[in-house]
Structure 1
Amino acid sequence: MAARNTAYLLVGLLALLHTWGVTAHVEVEMEDRVEVFRGETASITCMFTSSEGVGGIMIQWFFMTQTGEKQRVFYQDPTGTVVDKGTFTDRISVNGTGATGEIVVTISNVQLDDELEFICLVKGLTAGTAEGRTKLKVFVLPDFPTIEGVQTGISLNDGPSKIGTCEVKNGFPWPNITWYRNNAPLRGSPDVLKVVPSTTVESSGLLSVKSELIMKVMKEDKDDLFYCEVKFFVPGAVRMTETRHINITVYYPSTAVNVWVESPKGNIKEGDSIELQCRDNGNKPSSILTISDETGENTIDSNVLVLDNVTRRNSGVYQCVSMDMDTYEEISGNTTVFVNYLDPAAVMPNNSVVVAQGMELTATCNALSSLQTQIVWLKDGEAVSMGNSLILKDATFDSAGQYVCVVTVLEIEGMETSGTLHVEVKGPPEIMKPDDTEVEESFGTTVDLTCNVRGFPTPSVTWTTSDGKILPPASQIESWGEVHSVVSIKVTSDITAFCNASNDFGTDLLTYNIAAKGNGFIIAVIIVCILLLAILGSVLYFLYKKGKICGRSGKQDLTKEKSSKDNIVVEMKSDNTEEAVLLGVNGEKQPPSHQGGAYLNVQK
């Protein structure tokens, strides 16, 4: 009865309100979309207002299935709350009671299937009904994109050909692929360029996109770089990444051939090794390069030709031919090779020449060369003349010797030749005087005397002493009109030695004076010995007269005529011709006729 009365009361109230002209209403506000990464938590908020207040409000949550049907997940009225079991069991929760004008549905561990449209329906007792809708968007980052170019070359004669493939896998929602060439995006053009996309839904529900580029290539494309730009969506933004850059091989026919000498750089000389190379401006694998000379003796099916130890005969035109084996068309290029040469030096007079002292000699040196030469005459390693002529005026023995003519090509390092000329100057011997010919040596030592002689014909050399003795040389060397002779002499007294040189034109003489040191001391010793002998003889004679020796006794007859046998004579004489002293037994000086040596004579 009370319920019926309440119902009548409400109907009466509504009629009264209608009579008064007042209109009740409900308003609902929701976000258009909520975006989250897969596995995150999504919160969907429903805010509402009602002219009736919130006391009699009924709230329901629905989502639209993939087939377009509404499915409720939540119900609330003044009498209670119900969460429907189903798709979001254990993952959905609702916060708020509606008393505040806001209610939030929270979905945890969002999955791809949760990408649905959610509806918040609010109904008042008399204010009518209002609803709001929010789409839940789920995102998954894709794998890094890949690109693969064609492995084979593409010919200009071919039509549109596959350039490469770009692919990005396991993203959500669909990634977008754009092709670039040299930083410029490629757009489709009939019969020239086409981009063919394809998509795949993986078993996981993730999305993969593949894109193929098909294009008619041109020669300029051989240096182009191709890559893909991939754009994909994330919550609240769009991101972009690029693949690596690739190039393609474009086959195009040759229009020109170039051939050149790779080494040596610069001028070529005989004896060098030459490497010739050629290249055409095409790159078709069916083209063949052939290098050959004018004679055809040196031909090779390659772009490299090597010639070792070349001569001037290798000079000439070398040709490189490029043949397209598909069309048998030929194009060629050539280059000229010149091998520089330098003939051996020719010296006139040839080998050797003899010139008289005081006369003049002119010699020439020439070498045929492909380049300008420089000629230098050397003697003993020093330059003595420049140019192809050598002039020796007023020839002397100093002019004799070996001359070397060196011919050099200045433009090419190491390119030179040489010839020799031996000059003999004929004349009498000439002994080259030593610094000192007065030699003083100790008694008993050995001294080496040297004699250097020049002349032509080669002089003969002999050694002699002042007493006519011939001394054999210890060594004697003869070469190029010169004689080097050495003699060894043992010093036993003062010696004078002679070096005698002679040939057909005259003689020359060198004198060495050797003084023996220590000679006066020996003479002094000899004199002392002689004096001692003389004194000993006098003493013996005196004792003999006194009868002290030999059995004699008594006085001797001093008046007895002296016999020549009883005389004792001692003579002392030095090498310096001092005055000789002759002593008799009684100390008397003997006549000068007894001089001439040192001796002892005892007479009885």
Structure 2
Amino acid sequence: MAFNRAFLLLLHACSLTCGVWAKVELTMEKSIEVYLHDSAQIPCQYNFTDDNTHSLVMIQWFVRAASGKRVRIYYGDGMSQKVDENTEYSDRIAISEQQDAQLIIQNVKLSDDREFFCQVNGLAAGTAEGKTHLRVFSPPEAPLIEGVLTGISVTNELPTKVATCEARYGFPKANITWYKDDMPLLPAHPLLVTLTTEPTGFYTVQSELQYKVTKEDKDSHFSCEVSFFVPGAVRTAESERISITVHYPTTKVELWKDSPRVPVKEGDTVELRCQGDGNPPPPLVFSREQEPEVGLDSSGDTLVLTEVTRSDTGVYQCRSQDEYDTVTGDVQLTVHYLDPVVMMPKESQIVFRGDSLAASCNALSSLDTFTVWFKDGTLVGQGHTLSLQDATYDTSGEYVCKVTIPALPDLHTTGTVHIIVQGAPQLNDEDKDVALEEAEGRLVNLSCEAHGHPLPTISWNIVGSQSWHEVVVNRANENTAHSVLSVNVTSDFRALCNASNYMGTEIKAFSIKAIQMVTSAAPDSPAEGNGVIIAVVILFILLLATLVLYFLHKKGKIPCGRSREQESKWVEL
């Protein structure tokens, strides 16, 4: 090798003395970009200014070490090529055999991100040198975002840490941009960026967002985006979107009746719910407006009132108690009621037959009421007053009034009044003089029914000698008496039904005419019975004989002439 170098130097001196002047020119890329672990090709193109062929060329490749010094990694001339030993490139580089002297680096590492120098010595043509910066790229992992787990108060005067974003194991260093609701946050928001170089040479970038939150940020979403370089481009990757917990003071408290949904009546269980708009929810205290300092026993945001009465009606309050301020909300609770009915007249009332009566029924209530009247289950009137005109005994009975609240159908009450119609007896038949005809010897039942109050007494008066007895004596109801008289008719007679009480008497008359039955021989006497039997037997024998002769004639047993003779004999008979 020493001899070769000496020989080249001799040739170089000879070319100078011979006056042959030429110049070497070299061209290299400013930078070459490549992915980690790929192969890198760094060209080194050279030529000479004259047209003579220069076969003796010395090429050397150098790399800038971490110390700043240059270290040769390759040497080549027209006689030999050599990769320098004991360098980090001894087993990873090669030189192409073409004139451009391209350096090929296998399995590019992060440490290869440096300057590479190509030096071409053309002897008499001189020396030229160029450099290329090899840039190595490795995309980072997807960005990881983590929000502050504790709540962030809007009362903080200075920006507070909201979230951190980390892009790990990238090369070269990546950049992080913050977004709120997909809108980039301006650089005015403080950022604390930390760059960490891993033992492997990768970079880990961490960014901390410091932000002054507002109440509206409770519904916002934050994210970060990492941008990084790749060969010939810039790419981005976005993190997931997170929300943060914002603490803000209570400015409004709402109190409402949660159940029942319908108007409240006495005996119900009522639940009042309270809610403030602060976060975290402040402690709540329930009270009544007339006693605001007396706290009611509640559970969290709910106040339960069991079996309420009208005395529970009033304004209820709920107030928040947090570190910032006290805010109060209220609600009006009305407990509706329906008292027992008030009847006029009370219990029972006596009215004379033909007179009129007005009965009233009502109940004290917190709402409008509606009243209906029933008698024996039948609707007889509506409204608080029931008018009974021209009373009859049918008017008597028990009247039930039912008072309801249309807005609360389940709330109702009833009352009763007993009406008694007083008067003289009244027979139920319009015809008070009845005439009948009956056969002698038969039993006749005569019925008499009378209405009245007091209950009438019924007695019978028979004009004419007869055999009779009263078979039915009863009381149909408190105003009706009933009697049935059984008479054995033997002759004409007249029966009087007397219905009476201390207010009067009424009479019903029955006129009975006795009818005699016509007599004749008994239809089933022995002589007549025997004659009938004999006649039936003779008729049967004649019919049987006729049938026998008919069948004998059909079978040819009797000659025609004889048959006619026989027929003539039958005619004579």
Q: Answer whether TM exceeds 0.5 for this pair.
A: yes
| 2:58 paired residue number | 58
**Paired residues of 1:139 and 1:233 also in contact (CA < 8 A):** yes
| 2:403 paired residue number | 407
Rate the CA distance shift 1:205–1:292 in 2: closer, same or farther, 3 A.
farther
Alpha-carbon separation, structure 2, partners of 1:150 and 1:339: 49
2:526 aligned counterpart, secondary structure = helix
Asked if 1:343 corresponds to 2:334, the answer is no
Alpha-carbon separation, structure 2, partners of 1:469 and 1:288: 90
| 1:79 paired residue number | 79
Alpha-carbon separation, structure 2, partners of 1:509 and 1:112: 136
Asked if 1:92 corresponds to 2:90, the answer is no
Say what the alpha-carbon RMSD is for the aligned residues: 4.6
| 2:118 paired residue number | 120
Q: Per-residue displacement from partner, 1:148-194 (whole Å, max 9, x unpaired)?
A: 222222344545433232222222222222233333434565xxx53
Shift of the alpha carbon at 1:310? 1.7
Shift of the alpha carbon at 1:415? 3.8
| 1:359 paired residue number | 355
Q: Per-residue displacement from partner, 1:405-457 (whole Å, max 9, x unpaired)?
A: 33333344534433333444456466699xxxxxxxxxxxxxxxx99997656
Asked if 1:277 corresponds to 2:291, the answer is no
Alpha-carbon separation, structure 1, partners of 2:469 and 2:357: 43
**Paired residues of 2:12 and 2:123 also in contact (CA < 8 A):** no
Rate the CA distance shift 1:8–1:213 in 2: closer, same or farther, 3 A.
closer
| 1:309 paired residue number | 307
**Paired residues of 2:24 and 2:46 also in contact (CA < 8 A):** no
Rate the CA distance shift 1:375–1:42 in 2: closer, same or farther, 3 A.
same
Q: Per-residue displacement from partner, 1:49-87 (whole Å, max 9, x unpaired)?
A: 333546333332222222222233333322232233432
Alpha-carbon separation, structure 2, partners of 1:484 and 1:66: 137
Alpha-carbon separation, structure 2, partners of 1:258 and 1:181: 31
Point out the more displaced range, 453-462 or 152-161: 453-462
| 2:543 paired residue number | none
Point out the more displaced range, 253-262 or 6-15: 6-15
Q: Per-residue displacement from partner, 1:270-292 (whole Å, max 9, x unpaired)?
A: 33332223334433677553434
| 2:239 paired residue number | 243
**Paired residues of 1:96 and 1:103 also in contact (CA < 8 A):** yes
**Paired residues of 1:401 and 1:480 also in contact (CA < 8 A):** no
Identity of aligned residues (%): 38
Asked if 1:202 corresponds to 2:194, the answer is no
| 1:571 paired residue number | none
Asked if 1:68 corresponds to 2:63, the answer is no
| 2:165 paired residue number | 166
| 1:176 paired residue number | 175
Shift of the alpha carbon at 1:15? 4.5
**Paired residues of 1:431 and 1:509 also in contact (CA < 8 A):** no
| 2:540 paired residue number | none
Alpha-carbon separation, structure 2, partners of 1:10 and 1:508: 178
TM-score by length of 1: 0.66
Alpha-carbon separation, structure 1, partners of 2:144 and 2:68: 37
Shift of the alpha carbon at 1:364? 1.2
Unaligned residue ranges in structure 2 (runs of 5+) = 1-5, 431-446, 460-465, 485-494, 511-518, 531-573
**Paired residues of 2:93 and 2:104 also in contact (CA < 8 A):** yes
Point out the more displaced range, 411-420 or 225-234: 411-420
One-letter code of the match for 1:94? I
Alpha-carbon separation, structure 2, partners of 1:456 and 1:264: 53
**Paired residues of 2:404 and 2:411 also in contact (CA < 8 A):** yes
1:109 pairs, out of 96, 107, 110, with: 107
One-letter code of the match for 1:120? C
| 1:554 paired residue number | none
**Paired residues of 1:268 and 1:339 also in contact (CA < 8 A):** yes
Alpha-carbon separation, structure 2, partners of 1:72 and 1:333: 84
Shift of the alpha carbon at 1:335? 3.3
TM-score by length of 2: 0.69
Asked if 1:392 corresponds to 2:388, the answer is yes
2:468 aligned counterpart, secondary structure = coil
Q: Per-residue displacement from partner, 1:480-535 (whole Å, max 9, x unpaired)?
A: 7579999xxxxxxxxxxx9x996747789999xxxxxxxxxxx99x9577527999
One-letter code of the match for 2:199? S
**Paired residues of 1:174 and 1:208 also in contact (CA < 8 A):** yes
Shift of the alpha carbon at 1:314? 0.9
Shift of the alpha carbon at 1:132? 3.4
Shift of the alpha carbon at 1:220? 4.1
Alpha-carbon separation, structure 2, partners of 1:176 and 1:9: 54
Alpha-carbon separation, structure 1, partners of 2:114 and 2:529: 163
Shift of the alpha carbon at 1:401? 4.3
Rate the CA distance shift 1:256–1:8 in 2: closer, same or farther, 3 A.
closer
**Paired residues of 1:28 and 1:122 also in contact (CA < 8 A):** no
| 2:368 paired residue number | 372
Alpha-carbon separation, structure 2, partners of 1:24 and 1:408: 121
Unaligned residue ranges in structure 1 (runs of 5+) = 434-449, 487-497, 512-522, 536-604
Alpha-carbon separation, structure 2, partners of 1:311 and 1:179: 60
Rate the CA distance shift 1:12–1:197 in 2: closer, same or farther, 3 A.
closer
Shift of the alpha carbon at 1:313? 0.8
Asked if 1:420 corresponds to 2:421, the answer is no
| 2:132 paired residue number | 134
| 2:570 paired residue number | none
Rate the CA distance shift 1:275–1:534 in 2: closer, same or farther, 3 A.
closer
1:35 aligned counterpart, secondary structure = strand
Q: Per-residue displacement from partner, 1:176-231 (whole Å, max 9, x unpaired)?
A: 22233333434565xxx532222222233322222223344444444443332222
Alpha-carbon separation, structure 2, partners of 1:138 and 1:483: 125
Alpha-carbon separation, structure 2, partners of 1:83 and 1:148: 50
One-letter code of the match for 2:241? H
Total equivalences in the alignment? 481
**Paired residues of 1:276 and 1:305 also in contact (CA < 8 A):** yes
**Paired residues of 1:346 and 1:365 also in contact (CA < 8 A):** yes
Alpha-carbon separation, structure 1, partners of 2:307 and 2:391: 44
